[in-house]
Structure 1
Amino acid sequence: MLVDGKWQENWQPVQKADEKGRFVRQVSSFRNWITRDGSAGPAGEGGFEAEAGRYRLYVALICPWASRTLIARKLKGLEEIIPVTVLNPVLNDQGWEFGGGADEDPLFGSRYLHEIYTRADPHFTGRATVPVLWDMKRGVMVNNESADIVRMFDTAFEHLVPSDIRLYPADIGGEIDALNAQVYDQLNNGVYKAGFAVSQEAHDEAVEGVFATLDMLEARLTGDYLFGDRLTEADIRTFVTLIRFDAAYHGLFKTNRRQIKDYPRLSAYMERFLALPGVAETVNMDHITRGYYSIKALNPTRIRPTGPAHVAALLEAAGVPLSAR
């Protein structure tokens, strides 16, 4: 990680934990917002007007948080508005790396993502995480919080690319926030709390939350989406964890009580979401499994399993290329 702008090896120590051994996630540091006219958003400063080709999105396809932004970009039709750079899925002692079968950094020729962070703040302290939304006009980092970026993509560029999809409709915004809070704490972050727990108590507590939330979602899904026939950001947040669950979290993070395939409604929901235009293009199971099974603290040998077969079949049916399965 970076300490006062200087990289400190090793990137992969045991993750930060509280006094009971619970995994603690780093809080995002860059919270500016792109808006239609450049006025200040809910956080940060103003000056980030929505313009085509001005902003670049840095992602890793292993990462569920980064994948949220990729899916929102696809669903809102922003592919020609916001270019993307994909980093290597395998973390090394310098963190996220460009090249090596993934994209090179087209802006600065950086080798590692942490160099982008120190361009944004020469004295930055923390982990260099994805996603990153970079302003190529001003040469600054706009935001590195996926939840913010999804909402920017939902509204800021609609005068450039009109869309019938509203991922955060105002009339059910409070309900979406409430569901997001539970899904984030107990499922999205819950699998990480299970996987990176350093006490049995913390692991067991996290696993209970994971499966209680999966049970709740299974019962909730009486329509196509979590809010009936309305596709929202809550579906994006849920999908990115579901699609990784059986192939990565079930084994590596020891959340092995059940698989998603054991939930009929969630399985059908995942397949339905994967069939939405552009979504399958954001899923690369090769990157996902290579990335997760390269985490030294959890898998010192870095050997990764070849299955599960039902996930490969799901991706094949969705048209995901063999190289990405």
Structure 2
Amino acid sequence: MTARTTGAPAYAGPVDLDRYGRYDPFRGMTDRSVPPAYDFDGRIGDAAHPAEPGRYHLYVALSCPVAQLARIARLLLGLENVIGVSVVDDDRDGRGWAFRERRGPDEVNGFTLLSQAYEASRPGYSGHISVPVLWDRHEGRILSNQYFNILRDIGTQFGAYATSDVQLYPQELAGRIDAVNTLIYEEISLALSATAKRHEDVRPQVIAALDQFDARLATHRYLLGDAITEADLRFYTTLVRFDQGGNALSSITGRPLPSWERLHRYVQDLFALPAFRETTLVVPEWLADARP
């Protein structure tokens, strides 16, 4: 196990693109036609990794939508004193994510680069250095870097320690949540990452999916009814970035998100909750009036 450091906080040096170049998520890969691998797939809740206060620690970036999922779940369930968090700096060079004064140090291991967590977990590791990372403090290694598993485990395994009654993945809704998650990912999230030359190709499917969700919200406060579920977290992190990322300047849909009246109101409703608001780094103008 890596011992916690003492004394002054340890930080990485400034971003240096001249020396280290830009970060390449395909580093170590010869086939760039496949996405980077996320190789750490441990789960909280098996015999070796029970849910325990203080055992697990998150490494996140404030700008990362999938890291935001874990952060929302942690706050929504009231697990701030159960699962710790360290935040990497917003900017990175070829070394990957780093800890700098802007976001604070790694108070668990004293790492200055997130790559050190990967190296400590798998010596010689040369793959993608991604966030979020779920660190097991007992074993001194990364348990998981698969965001969908991290979100699911935070949402289902810590009920005994949660200070709210939110259930992100109730078994009676499991199949419906999975189906909605798939629709969000395949019809919207993937399409929004399309290159500019493919915008015309993906436009019909994105608009159709958004229309479908907008219609759903005519009779539901949230995607599966009157209670927030995991699907709402996944949809929110897509929609709140909708006009900043893939749909910037409405380049895919030809219209901004607020033109879907129910979707606009839905995101405002979620943003009004501290767990969503406090984890949103860049707030679009059309959400400003939803601040408490």
How far residue 247 of structure 1 moved from its aligned partner, in angstroms, is: 2.9
4+ residue stretches of structure 1 with deviation over 6 A? 13-16
SS in 1 for 2:154: helix
SS in 2 for 1:68: helix
- 1:87/1:96 contact within 8 Å kept: yes
Instruction: Find the counterpart in structure 2 of residue 131 from structure 1.
Output: 132
Instruction: Find the counterpart in structure 1 of residue 169 from structure 2.
Output: 168
- The CA distance in 2 between the partners of 1:283 and 1:168, in whole Å, is 22
Is 2:45 the partner of 1:32?
A: no
- The CA distance in 1 between the partners of 2:73 and 2:233, in whole Å, is 8
Instruction: Find the counterpart in structure 2 of residue 318 from structure 1.
Output: 291
TM-score of the superposed pair, with normalisation by structure 1: 0.75
- The CA distance in 2 between the partners of 1:10 and 1:247, in whole Å, is 22
- 2:250/2:256 contact within 8 Å kept: no
**Aligned with residue 250 of structure 1, among 237, 247, 255:** 247
User: Counterparts of 1:188-203 in structure 2 under 5 Å?
Assistant: 188-192=189-193, 194=194, 197=195, 200=197, 202-203=198-199
SS in 2 for 1:70: helix
Shift in alpha-carbon separation, 1:58–1:252, aligned structure 2, 3 A: farther
Q: Residue type matched to 1:28 in 2?
A: Y
Instruction: Find the counterpart in structure 2 of residue 105 from structure 1.
Output: 106
Instruction: Find the counterpart in structure 1 of residue 281 from structure 2.
Output: 284
- The CA distance in 2 between the partners of 1:267 and 1:68, in whole Å, is 20
How far residue 29 of structure 1 moved from its aligned partner, in angstroms, is: 1.4
How far residue 183 of structure 1 moved from its aligned partner, in angstroms, is: 0.6
Moved more, 102-111 or 47-56: 102-111
Instruction: Find the counterpart in structure 1 of residue 53 from structure 2.
Output: 52
User: Counterparts of 1:177-188 in structure 2 under 5 Å?
Assistant: 177-188=178-189
Instruction: Find the counterpart in structure 1 of residue 285 from structure 2.
Output: 309
User: Counterparts of 1:9-20 in structure 2 under 5 Å?
Assistant: 10-12=22-24, 18=33
**Aligned with residue 204 of structure 1, among 200, 203, 207:** 200
Is 2:277 the partner of 1:267?
A: no
Instruction: Find the counterpart in structure 2 of residue 43 from structure 1.
Output: none
User: Counterparts of 1:80-159 in structure 2 under 5 Å?
Assistant: 80-159=81-160
TM-score of the superposed pair, with normalisation by structure 2: 0.83
- The CA distance in 2 between the partners of 1:113 and 1:205, in whole Å, is 37
How far residue 124 of structure 1 moved from its aligned partner, in angstroms, is: 2.5
- 1:88/1:99 contact within 8 Å kept: yes
SS in 2 for 1:161: coil
SS in 2 for 1:106: coil
Shift in alpha-carbon separation, 1:207–1:112, aligned structure 2, 3 A: farther
How far residue 158 of structure 1 moved from its aligned partner, in angstroms, is: 1.4
How far residue 219 of structure 1 moved from its aligned partner, in angstroms, is: 1.6
In the alignment of these two chains, the number of paired residues is: 269
- The CA distance in 2 between the partners of 1:27 and 1:179, in whole Å, is 24
1:27-84 alpha-carbon deviations (Å, 9 max, x no partner): 421111111xx42xxxxxxx11211111110111111100011111111110110111
- 2:59/2:86 contact within 8 Å kept: yes
Instruction: Find the counterpart in structure 2 of residue 304 from structure 1.
Output: none
SS in 1 for 2:228: coil
Q: Residue type matched to 2:97 in 1?
A: W
- The CA distance in 2 between the partners of 1:89 and 1:256, in whole Å, is 28
SS in 1 for 2:275: coil
How far residue 90 of structure 1 moved from its aligned partner, in angstroms, is: 1.9
Shift in alpha-carbon separation, 1:65–1:264, aligned structure 2, 3 A: same
- 1:191/1:253 contact within 8 Å kept: no
1:254-278 alpha-carbon deviations (Å, 9 max, x no partner): 4352211111000000011112242
CA RMSD of aligned residues (A): 2.5
Unaligned runs of 5+ residues in structure 2 are 1-19
Moved more, 74-83 or 87-96: 87-96
Unaligned runs of 5+ residues in structure 1 are 1-7, 19-23, 40-46, 287-307, 320-325
